[in-house]
């Protein structure tokens, strides 16, 4: 099979396969007769753009729709983080701007956008998934229901004018037509405007062997080098990078501006130099990553089998998007995990995609505490350990797998 880089069109080759995987958010309704969609999850690295990407994925409408189940507001830490992002965007970029206009791509349930709304700032969310768009509207946010691309950018500009800030968190990795984002942002932004996005960082994924960050929705895993190249082609300068080690297991905040309009922070060059030192453009880095993934898979299987042989009860914690890759790649089933607790109401009562493990509420977890809990939502570890002090007090242990399999 010949695959083309989604940014530059050059031929690329996957360096490994995580096997057949379902869309990570397609939680299965028990008794459903409709066969699940599967695709082969294969990451590749484009040497021309330095863009890390998966070569196959389900259609966008299969991933983002009226039943999209991820609500940002399920994490207290993320609510606080986005309030911080709002504060810094306002003080850094909106001070002294008359009647500013802010566009958020992938505004989800309005967790970030509502901060702009409450401050009386003109705002618009672009959000294709009705489940979350409705939740944002219910709290008073202004939302355009649809996919961001050139067409939407033109429409928004015609109706509302150009934007002072275009912001997107954990969404610029999700849009396959990457050049549509670049062109759309470049056309919707004021010459004095900025484009700020946050996303899981390739450097952290490789360093921590956090392979479960790779799933259908995460088509791209960005590095600063890739961001500079890919968006540079659309006349956008990468002017700043801020590493966010505690966000989603390691993210980067990228700030871009129309070419030549803003000084470039020294942090950009430093970050790109660190990426070279880490070997993010080298084939051997990805060969090592593949070997590390295989080690985690065999260690995970061995640990689960040993614990089961001892008669231990094991459950999962957090039916995250990431968990689909981990569970399907390591062939984890109901024979391994009795259930997975998740605080999102629309996930409860359903089964995990592909592996069909039942998802239960926090109350169920409390009443049926296992001996071991596989922490699938490891990116929210601090918040969860604090919340689940009782599990620990009753002798419960956490199973971790990033950066390696272990029990704590
Ligand atoms: N920004 C939130 C939500 C991230 S989940 C946060 O950081 O927590 C990704 C969101 O992007 C989903 O709500 C999904 O529906 C939305 N999305 C997917 N493709 C999109 C596109 N082309 N344009 C705008 N939003 C998109
Ligand atoms: P995420 O890793 O994509 O942010 O998803 C986190 C999932 O974990 C989401 O489905 C909600 C769930 N969750 C809990 O069940 N309890 C918690 O305390 C937190 C923070 C998340
Ligand atoms: Zn490329």
Neighbouring residues of 317: CB distance < 8 A, sequence distance ≥ 6: 340, 341, 365, 373, 374, 375, 376, 377, 384, 388, 398
Q: What is the pLDDT of residues 136-151, one digit of tens each?
A: 999 999 999 999 999 9
Is 126 in a helix, a strand, or coil?
strand
Q: How large is the average pLDDT for residues 328-332? A: 98
> Using omega within 30 degrees of 0 as the cis cutoff, is the peptide bond preceding 403 cis?
yes
> What is the helix (H) or strand (E) element at residue 324, kind and residue range?
helix 321-329
Nearest CA to ligand 1 atom 4: 170
- Find the 307 Cα to ligand 2 centroid distance in Å: 25
DSSP string, 200-223: EBHHHHHHTT-GGG-STT--EEB-
Q: What is the pLDDT of residues 263-295, one digit of tens each?
A: 999 999 999 999 999 999 999 999 999 999 999
> Encoding tokens for residue 216?
């259908």
> Encoding tokens for residue 171?
């969404």
Any atom of ligand 1 within 6 Å of the Cβ of 304 = no
Task: Supply the pLDDT for residue 32.
Answer: 86
- Find the 33 Cα to ligand 3 centroid distance in Å: 40
User: What are residue 369's DSSP bridge partners?
Assistant: none
Which residue carries 């062939």 as its tokens? 331
Calpha distance 305→351 (Å, rounded): 22
Of ligand 1's atoms, which has the minimum distance to the CA of residue 177?
22
Centre a 10 Å sphere on the Cβ of residue 273 and count the other Cβ atoms it contains. 12
Indicate whether 195 pLDDT > 90: yes
Through-space distance between the first and last CA atoms of the chain, rounded to whole angstroms = 43
pTM of the model: 0.97
Indicate whether 35 pLDDT > 90: no
- Find the 6 Cα to ligand 3 centroid distance in Å: 7
Q: How large is the average pLDDT for residues 309-325? A: 98
The CA R_g of the chain, rounded to the nearest whole Å, is 21
Neighbouring residues of 344: CB distance < 8 A, sequence distance ≥ 6: 69, 70, 71, 74, 319
Burial class (CB in 10 A: 0-12, 13-18, 19+), 278: middle
Q: Which range has the worst mean pLDDT, 28-37, 186-195, 307-316? A: 28-37
Indicate whether 34 pLDDT > 90: no
Handedness of CA 385, 388, 394, 395 (dihedral sign): negative
Q: How large is the average pLDDT for residues 226-252? A: 98
Calpha distance 211→206 (Å, rounded): 8
Of ligand 1's atoms, which has the minimum distance to the CA of residue 181?
22
Task: Please give the mean pLDDT across all residues of the chain.
Answer: 97
Are 198 and 240 a contacting pair, CB within 8 Å? no
- Find the 299 Cα to ligand 1 centroid distance in Å: 33
User: What are residue 242's DSSP bridge partners?
Assistant: 253
Residue of 82, 320, 390 with the most ligand 2 atoms within 8 Å of its CB, for mutation: 320
Task: Supply the pLDDT for residue 286.
Answer: 98
pLDDT band at 33 (very low <50, low <70, confident <90, very high): confident
Indicate whether 107 pLDDT > 90: yes
Closest CA to 385 of 297, 304, 318: 318
Ligand nearest to the CA of 147: 1
Are 103 and 131 a contacting pair, CB within 8 Å? no
């Amino acid at each position: 099979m010949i695959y083309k880089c989604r940014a530059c069109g050059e031929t690329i080759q996957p360096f490994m396969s995580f096997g057949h995987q379902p869309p990570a958010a397609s939680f299965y309704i028990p008794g459903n007769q409709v066969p699940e969609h599967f695709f082969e999850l294969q990451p590749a690295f484009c040497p021309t753009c330095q863009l890390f990407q998966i070569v196959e994925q389900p259609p966008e409408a299969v991933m983002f729709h009226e039943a999209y189940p991820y609500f940002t507001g399920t994490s207290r830490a993320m609510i606080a983080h986005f309030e911080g992002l709002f504060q810094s965007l306002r003080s850094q970029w909106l001070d002294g701007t008359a009647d500013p206009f802010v566009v958020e791509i992938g505004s989800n349930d309005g967790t970030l956008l509502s901060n702009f709304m409450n401050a009386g700032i003109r705002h618009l969310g672009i959000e294709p998934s009705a489940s979350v768009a409705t939740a944002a509207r219910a709290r008073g946010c202004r939302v355009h229901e649809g996919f961001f691309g050139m067409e939407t950018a033109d429409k928004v500009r015609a109706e509302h004018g150009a934007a002072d800030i275009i912001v997107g968190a954990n969404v610029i990795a999700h849009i396959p037509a990457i050049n549509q984002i670049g062109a759309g942002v470049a056309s919707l932004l004021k010459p004095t405007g900025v484009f700020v996005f946050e996303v899981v960082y390739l450097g952290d994924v490789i360093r921590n062997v956090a392979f479960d960050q790779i799933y259908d929705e995460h088509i791209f895993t960005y590095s600063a080098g890739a961001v500079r190249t890919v968006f540079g082609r659309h006349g956008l300068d990468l002017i700043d990078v801020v590493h966010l080690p505690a966000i989603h297991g390691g993210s980067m905040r990228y700030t871009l501006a129309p070419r030549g309009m803003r000084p470039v922070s020294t942090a950009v060059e430093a970050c790109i130099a660190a990426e070279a030192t880490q070997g993010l453009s080298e084939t051997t880095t990805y060969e090592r990553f593949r070997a590390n993934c295989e080690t985690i898979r065999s260690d995970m299987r061995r640990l689960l089998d040993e614990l089961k042989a001892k008669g231990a009860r094991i459950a999962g914690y957090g039916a995250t998007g990431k968990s689909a890759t981990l569970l399907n790649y390591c062939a984890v089933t109901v024979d391994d995990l009795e259930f997975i607790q998740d605080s999102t109401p629309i996930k409860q009562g359903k089964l995990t995609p592909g592996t069909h493990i039942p998802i239960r509420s926090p109350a169920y977890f409390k009443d049926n505490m296992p001996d071991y809990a596989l922490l699938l939502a490891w990116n929210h570890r601090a918040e969860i350990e604090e919340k689940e002090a009782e599990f620990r007090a009753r002798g419960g242990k956490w199973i971790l797998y990033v950066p390696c399999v272990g029990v704590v």
